[in-house]
Amino acid sequence: MSIRTFALSATGMLGCIVAAGCASESAIPTDELAKARTVIEQADKGGNAQRYAAADLQRAHDELSDAERYNSERKYNEARAFADRAAADADVAVARGNSGEQQRAAQDVAKANSALQQETQRNPNINPPNQ
């Protein structure tokens, strides 16, 4: 094998390796990043997530920052993975926030019922209105 044939073969193989490496990174994760931004923005605006699930919401913000950093570095697979995680954590924060708010409302109702029961026990001669 001559040096020229070897050089051409090596160049061809190197070209294939570079092309395969570039092909392994998929398309820009535009949709995933947009979804993560939207879900996090909604979680921020709702208020319940910040009140009852601040750690989950902060993790979503951090993961979105990582996703944007990887996207700017053209590491699209990593960017997509972090964007998906950010959206999932924001969804968890919203769900926990809503759950926390519902638990608070249930506690308020229980307190009101308890107060009514105490009032009726204290004044047993009060008759309920006629219906």
Q: What are phi and psi of 121, to 5 degrees?
A: -75, -30
What residue spans define the domains of the chain?
25-114
Q: What are phi and psi of 88, to 5 degrees?
A: -65, -45
In the block, which residue shows the tokens 């008759």?
Answer: 127
pTM: 0.65
- Percentage, residues of the chain above pLDDT 70: 74
**Residue 2 or residue 123, greater confidence:** 123
pLDDT score at 127: 65
Q: Are 81 and 129 in contact (CB under 8 A)?
A: no
pLDDT, tens digit, 9 for 90 and up, residues 79-121: 999 999 999 999 999 999 988 767 777 877 877 877 777 777 8
Count the helix, strand and coil residues of the chain and give each as a percent rounded to the nearest 5: 85, 0, 15
For 57, other C-beta atoms within 10 Å of its C-beta total: 24
Q: CA-CA distance, 51 to 2, in Å (whole number)?
A: 73
126: confidence class by pLDDT, cuts 50, 70, 90: low
**Residue 45 or residue 6, greater confidence:** 45
